[in-house]
Structure 1
Amino acid sequence: MSFSSGCRSLARRGHVPQVGLPTAERRAVRGTERRMLGALAVPRRSLLASFLVLAVGTLSAAPASAATAELSAEGEQIHAGLPFVLALTAKGFEEEPPPAPPELVIAGAETTYLGVSPNVSTRIEIVNGRRSDWREVTFVYRWRVLAASPGQYDIPPLAVEQNDVAAVTQAAKFTAQELATSTDMRLSLKLPERPVWPGETFDVTIEWLLRRDVEQFDFAVPLFDLEAVQVAPGPGGGRTFPFPTRSGTVQLPATQDQVTDGGETFTRLAFPARITVSQPGALDVGPVRVAARVQVGTTRDAFGFRRARTQLALAEGKRQRLVVRALPETARPPTFVNAIGTGYAIDVSASRTVVGAGEPIELTIRIGGDGAMDGLSLPNLHDAGLPAEQFTVLEPPDVGQVDASTKTFDATVRVMAEGVGEIPAIAFSWFDPVAGEYRTAWSRPVALSVGAGEVVGVTDVATSAPAAAPAASPNPSAPAPRPRVTTGADMTLSDPAHTLTPVWSSTAIAVALALLYALPLLILGSRFWAEGTGGARLHRREVATALARVEQALAASGAAREGAPAATNAMRTLARLTGHGDERPDELARLETEAFDPVAGRQPINRATADGVRAVAERWAGKATAAAVLVVVASVAGLAPEPSAWGARSSALAELPTRPLGRASARGLPSLEEPSAWGARSSALAELPTR
């Protein structure tokens, strides 16, 4: 038995048979069904041999823009005992307010309203330069319908109304056929063997025994459709499957194993769920059903390939009775609210433990247990053990926040008396459904240190005249009266969050204003500096790159006939950048001669020649670097030259004394001039064209 092949599909798309309708109307109904499938929350059904005949109509023969209402069934076949989804599609209405759902009553069948899915679609068409806007609002109402027995059922006309616009469907019929049972499937619903209690969360399991592979199965669980029942997934992981419930669809996990029943081996699929019943009483739980295609053999398709041959069959469990007892009234503690479970614990902590009389204390109350936490509530704190003569509850516990199996509440209390030594234990009660009795847990006491204080109000201190001085005591040795302490008094008329908020000082305001004005000036200055020194910085990078190429060519270990031409070209580039293009130094001439010498050309470049060329390159680059630095300074002062003046600037600075660069200059690092050179540099700068 393959679990993946047996559970590969829970629902498949199908068409709604529209017997007796014209071709155009049949296409319209099928198109409406396809649009409804995208928002459907209930699995589709793909069963065998049943027809739904729906006579669809409107109020009158109105134009295309009039309101219309159409009925369709989401599924191909309808069988007794298995629910299907009936959809009503209403068009031609406004988006707001949504029309109220019509009441659907089908004699002999159970109907459950699932909800409405609004949809708004727009379209713009431009034909021959003319624009047309099209907007359509669609409301899709859905019901789950369960036919109790085989036979024909009548659907009454359904009216959809919105203000003065209305649309009505014509009466329709559908036939529910009986489905044969299969001995290859067995189905059961495992309920607790004891009575349960309102609010108790208990486990149920749907067990499906299979002897053959199945396809396209659909479940109907009447317990999940009861009004007072809440369904949640049970423990387990892995693959999940959707099950329809009254409030929607729930995904239940599935487990698979092998079991023996009546001497036969079956593959068992178990779907656990957690159920909570909110009302007491005896529940008549109908039999759980499943319809599936069971593999009964093999056949060959039109191409000759072998495929499984299946037959639609039904399996159903037994009708059961679930008793939900009312909670006992006797021995119910005052600290019980609505907690149901087998075990709970309570913990109380305080925001501070050293306070004065009249000061508030924030309490954090945590409840942990195995029961449902979403609707859990705390009892009255005074009933739970907080003495009313010592504590006042300023803010009762809030609704709380759930985190896994713990719920946290916040409350604020005020100590009213001096000498209170602790926050006493707080009680929390719950009902144990297994033991059938109430149980109570207590928190640990929280130690307090409460100093002297007196709680006063505004009327005690806001007087029109100052209080008279106390009269002299007739007994000088008597102790002086204790001054009135206003600790904890609520005498503010503003929001507590803003009562003690300090204002800004004048120094802080001045600093803030200075930063507010300095920031844009700093941004503007950096922008001017970048614009003014862009050309100089670019020139420095080009000179450094050319100098590095000269050093690389001179340091090459190859023959002079190969390295000398590269060094010569690099020197020419450097001369052009530094304004020495017309110079022909002797060192460069010796380098060219060495490159064409038949004997010396086979050897590396002579070291003396290389050092001479390197010294010339460093001298040129050093002067160009100094010129770039001066241009940067001049640009900051507003004296930056035009880009066309670079040649004249380099020539004017040709006579500036520099300190020779070392090997570092070949890597693009500029040198620093001697301080004595500043006078000559300034004189040379006087000849620079300025902007």
Structure 2
Amino acid sequence: MRIKQSYQPAMLAFAVIFLCGVASIAQAGDVAARLSSREAYVGMPITLQVSIDNVSDYEQPSLPQIDGCDIRSAGAPAQSSQITIINGRRSESRSVTLQYLITPRREGKFELPPLTIHADGRKMTTQSQRFVATKSVTGDLLFAEIAGGKKKVFVGEPLELTLKLWIKPFQDAERNITLSEGDMWNMISEQTAWGGFADRLRELAENNQRPGGQKILRDDGQGHERSYYLYEITATVYPKRAGKIDADDAQIVVNYPTALGAAQSSFRGMLGGSPFGGNSLMSRMMNDDFFASPFEDGLVVTSSRPIVADVSVDATEVAPVPQTGRPADYRGAVGRYQIVTRATPTSVEAGDPITLDIGIVGSGPMELVQAPPLNELPNLTTNFHVADQSLAGFVKDETKVFSTTVRPRKAGITEIPAIPFSFFDPETESFQTVHSEPIAIQVSESETLAMDAIVGDGRGRRLHDSDLQGNPAADLPDFTNNHAASILISQSPPSSIAWWWALILIPPGVCLAIFFMSNQREITDRLHRFRSPRKRSLSAIETAASDVAIADALTQYIAQATRTPCRTTSTALGQLRLRGMYELANELDAYFQELQRPFVTEDAAQLRLSHRQRATDLIEKLEASFRSQAKSPVLRSQRQKPNTATRVLPSTSPLIIAIALFAASANTGFTAEKTPQAEKTAADVKLSLQQQATILSEAGADYTKARDLAATDSATAKQLFETAAGRYQLLVDAGIGNSQLYLNLGNAYFQCGELGQAIANYERGRELDPANQQLLANLRFASSKVKGSAMNDDDAKFSGASISLGWLMHHVKSANDVVVEAVGLSTVVCSLVLASLAFWSLWIVRSAGVHFRVWRFAAAPLLIFLVSLGSYCLASTGLTSAGDAVIVADQLQLHAGDGNQFAEVAAIDNAQGQRVATLAQRGKWSQVRTAHGQIGWALSKDIEPIRQQHAGL
């Protein structure tokens, strides 16, 4: 017994451990799959239920494919959780149930393969399931037939089919009730597969309609005529393969009633029956199945069984489209069609895009019609560049419209040739080809591409005579792009202070110092005279050493206040009496007499202090009196002589004027150099150094290839130029600010005809490198190609507008650019420095005490200095024209407000490249002022700002 008792604790511990292990396994997650039934009817679904227990995360399984069955989800997963507490120990379980509907479409045995479910990082698998499907006996209850109107059609030819359903009405012999055609239609199961008629039924359902049934007699298959409800559904189909028309995708399932019963409704007992019941007065009067409906009499179908109709199809044969005689441009169209085309614009330069719209009208399925293969038409591709891509059109009414872009390869092309469209006509059983009408166009030589062969491009070619007239070789543009690695290094605008400014600033500083040292007393006196008469008199009284000095201070105050010389006290008193200040004059006269009296020596200091205090009080009284008199007009008859205190030294005034003029000019020069913005900006695109180098190399390859093709294939060349411009722009958007990169980008835009973008980028390059003569030459040349950008004097007078300051500055700056380009900016700077040194050296000698007519020698250096400084400032601003933005659209509409709903105030044709001034911005709109003074709101995308914030600064 002792041995057995010793084993009991061990066995108990083992049992506890085993049960805990089983519990942990159960908590680890479990999955199971169950079928609602192992036997199913054809066309009626059974439910597959998948339960997942004790998991926190899971993925729904992929639905398997079962031959002869359809599987679909029955709705959202159902989730539940349970919390159990036993002996103070809490446990929680969570389960998820997934439901799917499996609908067999034929008789036979089926197997549901195992389902794999991923839950909580583990893979769980269900067991396979078997079930069998049998076909319910349909008998004479349901017939289905698909009838076509033709014996033979071709693949893709429209075929009108009619689905006919015969459903035998259900009769309840006990109640002597027959269900109506509407009731029998409602018994059609949701599991019905309508095949090619599904779209038609969906259209009817969206309009709250259904096929109507009519009661007819037909053979029940046993040689007897029975009553049936006939439903007909018509749809147009387009056979996709040759052979017989089949109904494999159509299966009609009806839940045929087997019994009727009373509906459980509280309203029925309350109302005591419906007035529209089967045996009601209304039903007998109308003799209509609608009013005789048993469901209006409180009856419902209490049981039913599924029946499936075998859909029979008539002997319509689908023939393939023949291969013999098939045109090369045939793309599967069956029916009869016409083709029309439209091109915009019809007057272009070689290489410019032309929008070609193609419309196809026909009797076939328009959504299946494909565009003609334009890139395979030799008569089109010979003179036009066509994109090698399929076109996606859209159907509008009876027409399918395609849109594409073609580019003329050279100048002199007069028309877009007729576009063929081939189709197969099933009525004649032959291929037909129709053509659009040719479209007349005018293609001139591309001005921008012609610039590729000019002097200065390093290839020895020359420009047309009309472009060379008046332009020396040094002024001609150069469209050769540089693709050195240094382009990828951002630049900063030129320093705002150059070293040579010291040579201009030091001489006037030295001259000014000598002038102050030589005229210290005069300058001090003049600075002292800038104080008010009151303060000067009070200061003189405070420092007066005698009574005579006090009297003189009072006299000088009256002289300055009255602006009249007063050499004696009597004259000063007379000026006061002349202005009506009799009391003050008498008081002051008594004070003057008191000052003349002798005083005792031991009381001299105290008496003089008293005199100063009284003199100060008199000054305050005089000041108040003069102020009150100044507020009211007083007629003065005496002649006022000029005050000698206001005169300046005639020998030093020209020097002071020159110093002030120089200071203003120097400040203007510094301001001009600070014009380029130096604020940093965030790059829109992030590119690594390797990506930048690759993009630059690809852009260079595209640009070089485009230049090689420019003379022979303008269309391809312009496309390559556009591609190169896009790559250069990507580098700019990545934050690279380099003058040579802007030159490359401007050249690419210019070559593809985007004058506005070219000008804007040339201007940006000049901000970073104002001395770059090639940027200036290309900019001037591009600006000369802008149409309608300048306004001459006659235009201004005709329009009644005065010539604006901006217009004048534009012409002055343009002329200055020509001069600077001819002599060089360094020559201008050298002249500026030498003229400054010469001018100030003369004034230094004059200030040192050498007397001579300084202006006779200094006038010429000063003139040269001012002209050179103005030229340098104009050349350093970077912009060559008034305005801070460039129009990049061919046409610009100006509106009265920031939206298309506002009235149009002006429309500018040939606007590409014209300059405007930006006044305000609001959302996607900008308010601008044109060179002609027109003000309005335009879309911001049509305006390109000239100045940008460079990321590399």
State the TM-score, normalizing by the size of structure 2: 0.36
**Which is helix-richer, 1 or 2?**
2
Of structures 1 and 2, the larger Rg is shown by 2
Normalising by structure 1, what TM-score?
Answer: 0.48
- Structure with the bigger percentage of strand: 1
